[in-house]
Chain A
Amino acid sequence: MNRPRRDPRTERAAHAVPAAGRPRFDLASDVPLTRRRRRDPRGEFARALVPGAARLRLDRGQTGPSDFVMAYAVGAEAELPQLRVVETPAFLVFAVLDAGEGRLSRFDRQALGAARLLADAGPGGGAVVAIVSQAVEGLGSAGADRVVPALGRSGDAADDHPPADDPANVARRLAALIAEHEPRHVLFAETPVGGDLARRLAAGLGEAILTDVEYLTARTASRASRGGRREQAGAPPRLMAIGEDRVADYAGIPCEARQIAGPAEAPSSGESPVLSVEIIPGDPATMSLAETDFVVSAGNGVTDFGAFRELAAALKATPGASRVVCDAGLMPREAQVGASGTVLTADCYLALGIAGAPQHLQGIAGCEHVIAVNTDLHAAMVERAGLAIVQDAQLVMPALLKLLKERAP
C-alpha cells in the first residue's frame, strides 16, 4: 500500500561523476530508491470502503485494518510480509530498555520507536537491538530486530556479590557489549534507571551524550539547556537518552526479535562497595493518584463504599472517584479523577459505575488499559474500555472480593 518515494536530490548525488570543472552526471547508472514512505490515497479509500452497502459508504474512523478489510484485500494481503526480517544489517542501533516486570512500558516502546527511526534512516538499513534485563514480551511488534537477553544477570547464583542489578555492574557489561558490536547509536529512555545507566556509560566512555532529548529526527537531535532557555542541537550522537513522549512508537509490520548472544563476561572490578540492596515497593493505598500505576475508581453507580474501599485495598490499587461522588462527600476531593481533578499516568484503570463524561475521560486519556463495570451498555466508558462488563457493580464488587480471598495463598 505504500510505495517508495523518489528523492531527486540523492538521485542526483548518486549520478554525479567526480570530475574537475563543471558538474557531470551519468544518468544511465542504477539509482537506489530512498526509503521514505508516502501516503496512498487510493489505498486509504479502499480501506475505508464499507462493502455490502447499497450506497457508497466510507468508514474513516478506523485506526487499523478491520476484519472486512482483510477479507476485501485478500490479494494484497498475500504479498505483504507478515514479519520484517533484517538479515544482514549495515549497522546496529541499541535500545536499552527498563522493561520492569517483563513487560514493555509506553516509554520503552518509544525508545524502540526512536531506535527504529534511526535504523531505517541510515544508508543500507540498520537493525534495532533491544537490550533487556529479563525476558520481555512483545519486543517484535514494538520494532526490535534482535534481542540481547539478561544484561543484568551474571549467572544463576542467587547470592552473587556484587548484586547482579548493581548499576555499575550493568554499565560495565553494557560497555563490553558496545565494544563487541560497535553500534551506531545507543538509546536509553530517560527514566531513573535508564538515565542513570546512560550517564554512567557516557562518563565511562568519555563520550558526548544528549540527555533528555526533546526532538529527534534522523538528522538532528536537541535538548533543552540553561534552565529551558536555550537548546543544544546537532547530528544525533552515539549516546542519547530520549525524553518521555517525544518520539512515537513503532506501528509497522512486526519485526523478528531474534535472540542474539548476551555480553561476554565483563571484567569485574573486584570488591563492590554495595553491601546490600533491598527494594521497598510503594504502598498504593497512600500513593497519590498522579504517581500510581493502577487506579480503581467509583462513580455514581456505586452505593456500597465500604466494599469499594475494601476492594481497592484487596486489589492493591489506589482508590479514585468521579466528580459526582466527590461532590457528594463520599470520597475525598484528592480522589477525584478527571479534568478538574487528577490527570492520571496510571497503566490500568478500573471504572465501577462511571458513565464516562468527557471531563472524566480527559483524566484517563493516558491510561493504556481501561476496565469498565457499568449497567448501561451504551455508556461512553464501556466504549473506551478494553474489557467492559455490563453488570451491576454492587454484585461484581463482592464477587471480586470473594475471588481475591480464594486466590490469595
Chain B
Amino acid sequence: MRIVVLLSAGRHRVSGRPSLPGVEAQAIALAAALADAGEAGTGGERPPSAMSFSGLHAGPGDEGIADAFGHGLEAIDRLEIAEGADPLPALARHLKEHPAELILAGRRAEGGEDTGLLPYALAEALGLPILSDVTAIAAADEPGALRFDQALPKGAKRRVTLRLPAIVTVHPLAPAPAPFVFARARRGVVRTLSGLPAPVAASPFAEKPHRARPKLMRSAAAGSGAADEAGDKLHVHPDPQEAARLILDHIERIGIRRYS
C-alpha cells in the first residue's frame, strides 16, 4: 500500500521562519503507525504488498519541508513549480501517474492561504472521496478499506469505514508527532521532479496586512435562549421533589439532555 503525505511550505506562527506545520507532522506519525501495523499484521513475514509512505510537496524550494525527515519520513518528492503558482495541477498530475491508496493532508496549512481547500480541490480533480478531521486510522474488517475516527465537537467521534483510495485531512487532536531528530533532518535529501507550469494563481481577493478584529463578547444577551424564558424562573422554597422535577424539565426543555 502506498501512502502519500502532502507537505506544505509552512511558516512558524510566532517566528515566521520556514517550518513544517504541526498537523502535517501528525499526519506523518499516523502514516508511520499504519505502515508499522501493516508489517506487523502479516506475522513478521514480508507482506505481499509492502507498505511505503513518502512526502509530496509542490513548490519552489524545500525550506521547512526537510523538517519532515526529522519527524520520521524517509522520502520526499518535490515538484518544481514557480513561486506563487497553483500547486494543484502539478500535484494532480503526479498523483495520477503514481497513484496512492491513501493521501494524508493537513487540515489547514500555516503560512500560505490557510484555507484548507487544497485537499478538497485535489479530491475533486482526482475523483477521490475525502474525509476531514481524522484523528486515528486503523485496519478494517473489509479488505481494501480502513477505519477512520473523525473528531466532532464536544468530545464525540465519528467512526467511518471507507474504501480506499481516499484523501484524508488530519485534525490537531490526532496523536502527537514523533520527536524531531536533527541528524535525520540533516541527512534526508529531497528528490526534485519537474512540476507542471501553472499560471500564478490569481485570487479575486486583495491581500493586505492583517488587522486584528475583536470577537463578540459571549454573554447571555437578549435574543439568545436565556433571555426568552419569561416569568417562572424563580422558585422560593419549593419542595425538593418539586425542585428536582423543575430542574430536569428545564434541562429537557432547552434540549441539553434527555433522561427518559
State the A residues within 8 Å of B (CB): 63-64, 101-103, 106, 109-110, 138, 141, 167-168, 191-193, 195-196, 199-200, 202-204, 206, 208-211, 214-215, 224-234, 237, 244-251, 273-284, 286-287, 291-294, 315-317, 345, 347-348, 350, 365-371, 373, 377, 382, 384-392, 395-396, 398-400, 402-404, 407-409
Q: Within the complex, which residue of A203, A215, A291, A350 is in contact with B120, where a contact is CB–CB below 8 Å? A: A203
Residue of A nearest to B11 (CB): A227
A279 touching B223, Cβ below 8 Å: no
Inter-chain CA distance A368–B257, complex, in Å, is 15
CA of A229 to CA of B244 in the docked complex: distance in angstroms? 52
- The answer to the question of B163 belonging to the interface, with a C-beta cut-off of 8 Å to chain A, is yes
Our pick among A64, A102, A202 for the contact of B222 (Cβ within 8 Å) is: A64
1/0 contact trace for B135-175 toward A, CB 8 Å?
Answer: 00000101001000011111111111111001000000000
Does B183 reach chain A (CB closer than 8 Å)?
Answer: no
Question: What is the chain B residue whose CB lies nearest that of A398?
Answer: B240
Number of A-B contacts (CB under 8 A): 276
**B51 at the A interface (CB under 8 A):** no
Q: Offer 6 A-B interface pairs, CB within 8 angstroms, sorted by A.
A: A63-B227, A106-B224, A192-B152, A199-B116, A277-B159, A282-B157
Residues of chain A with a CB closer than 8 A to B133's CB: 192, 196
Residues of B within 8 A of A192 (CB): 132-133, 150-153
Asked if B235 is at the interface of the complex by the 8 Å CB criterion, the answer is yes
Interface size grouping (class) on chain B: 35 or more
Which residues of chain B have C-beta atoms less than 8 A from A273's C-beta? 129, 162-163, 166
Q: State whether A315 and B257 are in contact (beta carbons under 8 Å apart), knowing that A203-B124, A389-B247 are contacts in the complex.
A: yes
Are the C-beta atoms of A387 and B233 separated by less than 8 Å? yes
Pair B145/A215 contact, Cβ less than 8 Å: no
Q: Which residues of B contact A (CB under 8 A)?
A: 10-13, 16, 110-117, 120-121, 123-124, 129-130, 132-133, 140, 142, 145, 150-163, 166, 203-211, 213, 215-229, 233-238, 240-241, 243-248, 250-251, 254-257, 259-260
Question: Which of B113, B208, B244 has the most CB atoms of chain A within a 10 A radius of its CB?
Answer: B244
Which residue on chain B has the smallest CB distance to residue A244?
B215
State which of A237, A249, A365 has its C-beta within 8 Å of the C-beta of B224.
A249
A245 with B218: CB separation less than 8 A? yes
A214-B213, A228-B13 known; A168 and B129 CB under 8 Å? Answer: yes
Residue of A nearest to B156 (CB): A282
A399 and B241 alpha carbons, distance in the complex (Å): 5
Q: Distance (Å) between the CB of B195 and the closest chain A CB?
A: 21
The 9 closest A-B pairs by CB, nearest first: A282-B155, A366-B218, A203-B120, A399-B244, A251-B223, A399-B240, A232-B205, A234-B205, A63-B222
If the complex has contacts A232-B113, A388-B234, are A109 and B224 also in contact, measured as CB distance less than 8 A?
yes
Tell me the minimal C-beta distance from B116 to chain A in angstroms: 6
B257 / chain A contacts, CB cutoff of 8 Å: 294, 315-317
CA distance A234 to B208 in the complex (A): 11
List of B residues within 8 angstroms of A141 by Cβ: 223, 228
On chain A, the residues within 8 Å of B218 by CB distance are 106, 245, 345, 365-366
Q: Assess the A408–B259 pair: CB atoms within 8 A.
A: yes
Q: Which of A199, A382, A395 has the most CB of B within 10 A?
A: A199
Contact B241 A403 (CB under 8 A): yes
Contact between chains at B13 and A407 (CB < 8 Å)? no
Bound-state CA distance A88–B166 (Å) is 44
Whether the pair B247, A350 counts as a contact (CB closer than 8 A) is: yes
Contact status B142-A215, CB under 8 Å: no
Cα distance, A350 to B246, chains bound together (Å): 13
In whole Å, how far is A84's beta carbon from the nearest beta carbon of chain B? 14
B210 touches A400 (CB 8 A): no
Q: What's the Cα separation between A396 and B239 when bound, in Å?
A: 9
Name the B residues within 8 Å of A202 (CB-CB). Answer: 117, 120
Taken together as a complex, chains A and B put the C-alpha atoms of A237 and B206 apart, in Å, by 12
Cβ–Cβ contact A403 & B245, under 8 A: yes
Indicate if the CB atoms of A224 and B227 lie closer than 8 Å. no
B142, B226, B237, B243 pick with most chain A CB within 10 angstroms: B243
From A206, A246, A389, B235 is in contact (CB under 8 Å) with A389
Q: How far is the CA of A211 from the CA of B118 in the complex (A)?
A: 13
Please determine whether B243 and A373 come into contact, CB atoms closer than 8 angstroms.
yes
Residues of B within 8 A of A389 (CB): 235, 238, 243, 246-247
The answer to whether B114 touches A225 (Cβ under 8 A) is: yes
Bound-state Cα–Cα, A385 to B250, Å = 12
**Which residues of the partner chain A approach B215 to less than 8 Å between Cβ atoms?**
244-246
Q: Are B243 and A399 in contact (CB under 8 A)?
A: yes
Q: Are A407 and B259 in contact (CB under 8 A)?
A: yes
Kindly list chain B residues whose C-beta atoms are within 8 Å of the C-beta of A106. Answer: 218, 224
Q: Looking at the complex, which one of A101, A200, A350 makes contact with B130 (CB distance below 8 Å)?
A: A200
What separation, in Å, do the CA atoms of A278 and B132 have in the docked complex?
A: 15
CA distance A399 to B206 in the complex (A): 61
- Are B123 and A195 within 8 A (Cβ)? no
The smallest C-beta distance from A220 to any residue of chain B, in angstroms, reads: 10
For A316, what are the chain B residues with a Cβ–Cβ distance below 8 Å? 257
Report A-chain residues with C-beta under 8 Å of the C-beta of B152: 192-193, 279, 282
A282/B154 contact (C-beta < 8 A), A230-B209, A387-B247, A391-B243 known: yes
Besides A209-B115, A278-B158, A365-B218, 16 other A-B contacts (C-beta < 8 A): A168-B130, A195-B132, A227-B13, A279-B156, A279-B159, A282-B157, A292-B155, A368-B225, A373-B243, A382-B234, A386-B229, A387-B229, A387-B233, A390-B236, A399-B244, A403-B245
Q: Report the bound CA distance from A233 to B234 in whole Å.
A: 48
B237, A390: Cβ atoms under 8 Å?
A: yes
Instruction: Name which residue of chain A comes closest to B146, CB basis.
Output: A275
Q: Is the CB of B235 within 8 A of A390?
A: yes
Closest CB in chain A relative to B12 CB, distance in Å? 8
Q: Which one of A229, A273, A281, A367 has the highest number of Cβ atoms from chain B below 10 Å of its Cβ?
A: A273
The residues of B that contact A109 with a CB separation of less than 8 Å are 223-224
**Are B117 and A211 interface neighbours, CB within 8 A?**
yes
**Which B residues lie within 8 Å of A203 (CB)?**
117, 120-121, 123-124
Q: Chain B contacts of A275 at CB under 8 A?
A: 140, 142, 145, 161-163
Q: Is the CB of A279 within 8 A of B208?
A: no
